[in-house]
Amino acid sequence: MEKVVLVTGANSGIGLALCERLLSQDSEVRLCLACRNTGRAEAARSTLLTSHPGARVDLLHLDVGSVRSVLRAAQEVKARYPRLDHLYLNAGIMPNPQVDIKAFFKGLFSSNAINMFTTAEGILTQQDRLNADGLQEVFATNLFGHFLLVRELEPLLCQAERPSKVVWTSSSNALRSAFSLEDLQHSSGTEPYSSSKYASDLLSLALNRHHNAQGLFSSVICPGLVMTNLTYGILPSFFWTLLMPIMWFIRIFTNTLTLTPYNGAEALNWLFLQKPESLDSRAKYHSMTSGLGNNYTHPRQMDIDEETSEALYGMLLELEKVIRRQITEEPGRQ
């Protein structure tokens, strides 16, 4: 039976690696590549069809950082498909990442080196900005746009006779210390990426609480440390040239350095094969790669609680009402 799978941010990195792996193991998958850059999406589609000539691969223009784009794309999805079996919320941004070089070298020669490499805790900050909708860009792209997409696609996802999976690409950098309900969009902080990823962990728990009975099941993954365009933007290229031998050495002692998009997509691919009812809603499923190059998935309990999760869910619902009202009241709209 055909399985309809929509992947946001599917034109490169972990998203594209996931699509390649899904087509390799299931000939009945129908993929929808939901991407902001149409040209890159077409190139990704061509790459997939070269290795899988008979595959069904559709394209969808979607900028999850734009409310209007999310609403338009959702309407198109509902017109195309009678249901969605899997929705991978993989797109994300980390604008203008900056590293505290002094803290980095101090941590490099300390007992905290492995944790620093795997989470970037204490060394990584970002500069955020407002988008066209008046929302903080990282919050809008990494969290709210995906939340709105799920809300719009509930008719395709909430079909109890055929359970669906929503899967969030989170991070080991999703830290409780970076998140605050009083500053939901993290407009006053320096870790919007970490805040948005922690919020996605909380939101996944809330989605399960509200929608499991309707057949929608939500899970969270961490791809490990993967070398993608997002990662390479953190440090100058010559730093990565110096660091890569160290990182390969560190992987002997920690299995979270997945390094390649293929390895980083391990947990995403593993979840595709699981029965949604069997998954732990409080677990984050980590992609792991051993020092010998063997990939596997390992669940770890998330540092989340139901009270904060429910409060976040309610606040997002209220923000959704405000944003929809603003769009409705725009001049020229009926």
Task: State both tokens at 268.
Answer: 């995403």
Q: Are strands 3-8 and 86-89 parallel, antiparallel or unpaired?
A: parallel
Nearest to 4 by CA among 27, 24, 35, 30: 30
Say which amino acid occupies 95. P
Partners of 8 in beta bridges:
34
Nearest to 80 by CA among 101, 49, 56: 56
Measure the CA–CA gap between 180 and 195, rounded to whole angstroms: 8
Active site residues: 193
Measure the CA–CA gap between 101 and 74, rounded to whole angstroms: 42
The DSSP 8-state label assigned to residue 254 in this structure reads: -
CB 144 within 8 A of CB 63: no
Nearest to 265 by CA among 5, 1, 54, 12: 12
Nearest to 177 by CA among 34, 90, 303: 303
Say which amino acid occupies 248. W
Task: State both tokens at 126.
Answer: 């970002």
In our burial notation (b when 16+ CB lie closer than 10 A, e otherwise), range 132-163 reads: ebebbbbbbbbbbbbbbbbebbeebbbbeeeb
Measure the CA–CA gap between 320 and 144, rounded to whole angstroms: 9
Measure the CA–CA gap between 144 and 150, rounded to whole angstroms: 10
Nearest to 134 by CA among 189, 68, 230: 68
Measure the CA–CA gap between 309 and 288, rounded to whole angstroms: 27
